[in-house]
């Protein structure tokens, strides 16, 4: 899941305007950001299944995508912030794990190396997975757009509108390509 995480973060921005948008966008992808160097080092990885397109993978990411790993990484990112922002950033970082749980194919353990693995595997049904991502993008974008308009931030509202449409189209394209 990519666009869906951003959509969720945009929705949170509407409720926590004091937290910068860039920080929320970083937080919502934080587990995947940490995944990149671990992937490059061969510690975590991906195994393609079926067509090998978007979402057609089993992810071996026990450090970044185990429940324990997600909690620790979310707390670490939150620690850079003070007050309510600390809680908001940590919660948005952890939301990545919860949203990934919906689409991943039972490849997310409770602890690194754990035998019990979770994931509802919605990626097996690309249209349903795409619909959920679109809902998140449209819902989060709409919340942010409304909040920006209410505070008179017309420019931010326009940027949000364009970003929602662009990421919505990208999600759609990725899912269609996966068919």
**CB-based burial, 94-117: b 16+ in 10 Å, e otherwise:** bbbbebbbbbbbebbbeeeeeeee
As a whole number of angstroms, the distance between CA 13 and CA 132 comes to 20
For position 44 contacting Zn ion by CB under 5 A, the verdict is no
Q: Which is nearer to Zn ion, 44 or 100 (CB)?
A: 100
Q: Which range binds Zn ion by CB under 5 A, 8-16, 26-34, 84-92, 149-157?
A: 26-34
Per DSSP (E only), the strands in 5-158 are 45-48, 57-60, 108-109, 117-118
What's the token pair of residue 90? 């940590």
Q: Which is nearer to Zn ion, 1 or 160 (CB)?
A: 1
Give me the 87-106 binding string for Zn ion, x by CB under 5 A, dash otherwise. -------------x------
Kindly state the smallest distance separating residue 166's Cβ from Zn ion, in Å: 21
19, 32, 57, 89: which one binds Zn ion (CB under 5 A): 32
* Residue numbers at the binding site for Zn ion (CB under 5 A): 32, 100
């Amino acid at each position: 899941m990519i666009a869906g995480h951003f959509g969720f973060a945009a929705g949170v921005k509407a409720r926590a305007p004091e937290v910068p948008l860039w920080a929320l966008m970083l937080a919502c992808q934080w587990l995947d950001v940490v995944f990149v160097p671990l992937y490059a080092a061969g510690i975590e990885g991906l195994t393609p299944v079926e067509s090998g397109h978007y979402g057609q993978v089993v992810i071996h990411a026990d450090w970044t995508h185990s429940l324990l790993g997600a909690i620790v990484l979310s707390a670490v990112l939150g620690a850079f912030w003070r007050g309510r922002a600390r809680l908001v950033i940590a919660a948005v970082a952890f939301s990545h794990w919860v949203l990934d749980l919906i689409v991943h194919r039972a490849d997310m353990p409770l602890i690194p190396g754990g035998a019990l693995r979770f994931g509802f595997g919605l990626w097996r049904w690309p249209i349903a997975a795409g619909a959920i991502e679109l809902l998140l993008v449209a819902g989060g974008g709409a919340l942010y757009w409304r909040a920006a308009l209410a505070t008179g931030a017309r420019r931010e509202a326009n940027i949000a509108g364009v970003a929602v449409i662009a990421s919505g189209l990208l999600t759609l394209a990725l899912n269609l390509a996966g068919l």
